Amino acid sequence: MNSSTLFAGRLMGALLSATAFSPFVSAHAADLSGAKEKAEQVCAACHGKEGNAPVDPSYPRLAGQHQDYLRQALLDYRSDSRKNAIMGAQAKALTKKEVGDLAAYYASMPGQLVVRK
């Protein structure tokens, strides 16, 4: 294997890891400003400013959470494979594009969520 194929392989790997597991997110550039507007109009009422200050302890913090996880959660609410009266209704009101954009927006917000053993 010469260095250029090695490089190509690495590039491919990087591209794959960035996109393969989130085909929808990769299908369009995330509209962060549109998502921000939506987030402030709708989501912030419960999840707080930038998803960092839930108004009730039973609501999750969203800021800084993994983008693909947030997207999956909204899609699961949308399909009722995750059952929650409030989020089911909210998620069904979103298009797939809005789901992807909101996931990208909240993942990009600085937050306190961390990986810990």
In whole angstroms, give the CA distance from residue 21 to residue 28. Answer: 14
Size of the site for other proteins (CB under 8 A): 29
The single residue among 33, 84, 89, 93 that binds other proteins, judged by CB under 8 A, is 84
Which amino acid does the sequence have at 12?
M
Let me know the angle formed at the C-alpha of 26 by 8 and 110, rounded to the nearest 5 degrees.
105
| Closer residue to other proteins, CB minimum distance, 3 or 110 | 110
Q: Which two tokens stand for residue 22?
A: 């989130």
Look-up of token digits 């969520």: 113
The single residue among 2, 5, 57, 95 that binds other proteins, judged by CB under 8 A, is 57
Q: Which two tokens stand for residue 58?
A: 């039973």
Cβ neighbours around 32 below 10 Å, total: 14
Site map for other proteins, 24-53, x if CB under 8 A? ------------------------------
| Closer residue to other proteins, CB minimum distance, 33 or 55 | 55
> Judged by CB under 8 A, does residue 114 bind other proteins?
yes
Q: 4: number of CA atoms within 13 Å, CB side?
A: 0
> Judged by CB under 8 A, does residue 87 bind other proteins?
no
Residues contributing to the site for other proteins (CB under 8 A): 21-22, 54, 56-61, 64-69, 71-72, 76, 81-84, 111-117
